[in-house]
Structure 1
Amino acid sequence: MKLATSLAIAAAACALAAPASAQSFQKPEDAIKYRKSVMTLQAAHFGPLGAMASGRAPFDAQAAARHADVLAVVAGLGSTGFIPGSDKGDTRAKPEIWSEQAKFKGYGDKLQAEAQKLAAAAKTGNLDNLKAAFGPAAATCKACHDDFRRD
């Protein structure tokens, strides 16, 4: 698990180190792959936090802090993959992403803020703090998916 977390953090750091390249994809398919990778990372780290917050998994303060730290980094990466032309192909993105960009960006900004709060809460080592921060972060993801992702 430590190796997987380390790899995820390294991948996120690489992505952050080259934001210009993330915005100049060679093909729309590359942007789709990129954002799907970001979503996969988010799910891989939200899942264990949700399991701890709901009591489906035992609370592990160190693991919660690691997962939340990764989310705090990864939360800001996905939006760069929604470039013009990437609305076609192997994607569940709705066209409203491009026609309602301000609303879409608002969700991204909110996710980043909630992910920061979640990371801070996880670092306290207190399950109740984690639960309190997890709900709003998860609700932000759900709201964006409800508005902008096809089932």
Structure 2
Amino acid sequence: MKRILLATAALAMFAGASVADEDEPFEMQIDARQGIMDYRAIQMGVLGPMVKGEVEYNAEAAQKAADALLAASTIDTSMLWPQGSDSDAVASSGALPALWAEGSDAGAKGQAMVDAATALQAAAGGGLDALKAAFGPVGGACGDCHKAYRKPNG
């Protein structure tokens, strides 16, 4: 619960600010979107070891992580991806210019993540086999977007 409150406070702080430093015009948006991705990774880090059998399946922990992952996946982050905030323009960004290119399917990939996270949320507390079945598509949705729109090792 403490992690959720801290993440929510951080996100509110980033979302509430409307003007970035002129020398670093996109840093606030990049920090916020990277924070959301980090928060998603924390939830995957709870679930992944259960799926791999590295830790014992815990229905309550799995459900909490899946709930949080879905919540983080449904945040409207559109204001955090301004054109020009790619890795070619801003060193701290891992985003590739292709994200903003005409014909980009980033929105569809984002929706695929929401769909996969929704299925994971429904399955997570229902047993290890259900968690395993729903976990793969979430990882696939993450990977599909990162392969297309994220700088390698970014």
TM-score (norm: length of structure 1): 0.83
The 3 A distance-change label for structure 1 pair 25 and 49 is: farther
Q: Which amino acid aligns with 2:29?
A: A
**Is the contact between residue 64 and residue 122 of structure 1 (CA under 8 Å) also seen in structure 2?**
yes
Deviation per CA, 1:9-43, whole angstroms, max 9, x where unpaired? x448858xx6xx58x56331111111100111011
The 3 A distance-change label for structure 1 pair 100 and 12 is: farther
Runs of 5+ consecutive residues of structure 1 not aligned to the other structure = none
Deviation per CA, 1:64-88, whole angstroms, max 9, x where unpaired? 1011000001013374221122122
2:69 is matched with 71
Structure with greater Cα Rg: 2
For 1:1-150, what aligned pairs fall within 5 Å after superposition? Answer: 2-8=1-7, 10-11=8-9, 14=12, 26=20, 27-77=25-75, 79-80=77-78, 81-87=80-86, 88-89=89-90, 90-100=92-102, 102-124=104-126, 126-150=127-151
For 2:100 and 2:150, the matched residues in 1 are separated by 12
**Is the contact between residue 120 and residue 134 of structure 2 (CA under 8 Å) also seen in structure 1?**
yes
Q: Which amino acid aligns with 1:64?
A: A
For 1:70 and 1:32, the matched residues in 2 are separated by 21
**Is the contact between residue 113 and residue 138 of structure 2 (CA under 8 Å) also seen in structure 1?**
yes
For 1:95 and 1:150, the matched residues in 2 are separated by 10
Q: Percent identity?
A: 34
Which of the pair has the greater relative contact order for Cα pairs under 8 Å at 6+ separation?
A: 1
Between Structure 1 and Structure 2, the one with more helix by share is: 1
Q: Which amino acid aligns with 2:72?
A: V
Secondary structure class of the residue paired with 1:93: coil
For 1:51 and 1:30, the matched residues in 2 are separated by 32
For 1:96 and 1:25, the matched residues in 2 are separated by 25
For 1:97 and 1:7, the matched residues in 2 are separated by 29
How many residues in Structure 1 have an aligned counterpart in Structure 2?
143
Runs of 5+ consecutive residues of structure 2 not aligned to the other structure = none
Q: Which amino acid aligns with 2:138?
A: A
Give me the CA root mean square deviation.
2.3
Q: Which amino acid aligns with 1:84?
A: Q
TM-score (norm: length of structure 2): 0.82
